[in-house]
Amino acid sequence: MLKQIENFSVHLRGRNLSAHTLRAYESDLKEFAAFMSLRGRLAVRDFTIQNIRAYLARESQKEIARNSMLRKISALRSFAKYLSNRGITAANPFKLFAAPRRERLLPKFLTEAEAAKLMDAEPSVRFAARNKALLELLYSSGLRRSEITGLNAGDVNFTEGFVKVLGKGGRERLVPVTDIALEAISNYLSTRAAANAHAPLFLGSRGGRLSGEGLAQIVKKSALKSNLARKITPHGLRHSFATHLLNNGCDLKTLQEMLGHKSLGATQIYTHVSPERLKIVYESAHPKSSGGGDK
């Protein structure tokens, strides 16, 4: 089984999956292999629905998030399909397996005031220009963590006000960027040695391409310096970008294109009403509120 998991990992790397998904699937399958090893059942013939259910039952006792459990199931289901399609196993053990539905949680986002406060965070002295450019670009474009760290210097079109992004599944798209973000990026690039079009746009502390973990730390430290009362991540800024655009009149189809979602359904999670917008509508509409009803 260990050999087949290794072969499956190689197979996944050729499918244009995100680095995050690859790491998660490989980690989940290694966990499953460790579980099976403890039971002394590491042969491919032991990859049965009974053993899969035993593993998932153990994982459910850890009180992990529902969506994390669904990802583990997805990793095992993909592995089962791989084995079945290649004739390595006689049948797919997931044929009769009914997975629970994905939990649809409201996205976590900043208010517009909080986002403005974060953009004005006092950056570290050494990386002030870079961090300012990163925060402004994250909030103005809603890029995924892997997308922003994957940008090259030549992907920024300062004339037209776009960045060229390589998203999930190798899909390329153009995303608008604010003038403030473009100015911050230009200022950052002026502090560096001349970069060719294929050089990383954002560099880490050691001079190589900034990693996703490095980006997360920059956002975390900036939030602390801004005295924000809540935890914020790069994905939280993506949620904030989407929520604020919809609150200010952006339509779903346009937002879908900017976010790089394959289906409109993935974008519809942002159609929730923010507390700010809810309060404004309530105050203007309820007859007993200070600003609503016929006076």
Contacts 24+ apart (CB under 8 A), 278-286: none
pLDDT, tens digit, for every residue of 1-36?
A: 889 999 999 998 887 677 778 889 999 999 999 999
Average pLDDT of the chain, as a whole number: 86
What is the longest distance spanned by two Cα atoms in the chain?
77
pLDDT, tens digit, for every residue of 27-61?
A: 999 999 999 998 888 888 888 889 998 998 898 88
Identify each DSSP E strand in the chain by its residue range. Answer: 156-157, 162-166, 172-176
Residues facing residue 172 across a β-bridge: 166
Q: Who has greater pLDDT, 130 or 286?
A: 130
Mean pLDDT of 191-196: 88
Catalytic residues: 144, 168, 235, 238, 261, 270
pLDDT, tens digit, for every residue of 120-141?
A: 877 667 899 999 999 999 999 9
Instruction: Count CB atoms within 10 A of the CB of residue 142.
Output: 24
What pLDDT, on the 0 to 100 scale, is given for residue 93? Answer: 86
What pLDDT, on the 0 to 100 scale, is given for residue 191? Answer: 92
pLDDT, tens digit, for every residue of 86-99?
A: 999 888 888 877 66
What pLDDT, on the 0 to 100 scale, is given for residue 295? Answer: 44
Evaluate whether 259 touches 250 at the Cβ level (below 8 Å).
no
Residue type (1 letter), 22: L
Mean pLDDT of 250-257: 89
Name the token pair of 214: 């490095």
Instruction: Count CB atoms within 10 A of the CB of residue 85.
Output: 10
Q: Is the confidence at residue 176, as pLDDT, over 50?
A: yes
The domain ranges of the chain are 2-85, 112-280
Determine the Cα–Cα distance for residues 170 and 182; give it in Å rounded to an integer. Answer: 25
What is the residue-wise DSSP string for 175-192? EE--HHHHHHHHHHHHTS
Topology annotation, domain 2-85: DNA polymerase; domain 1 (1.10.150)
Residues in CB range of 287: below 8 A, 6 or more apart: 293, 294
Residue carrying the six token digits 């900036």: 222
Contacts 24+ apart (CB under 8 A), 157-160: 158/182, 158/185, 158/186
Looking at the chain, the whole-number percentage of residues with pLDDT higher than 90 is 43
CATH classification code of 112-280: 1.10.443.10
What pLDDT, on the 0 to 100 scale, is given for residue 181? Answer: 96
Q: Who has greater pLDDT, 157 or 108?
A: 157
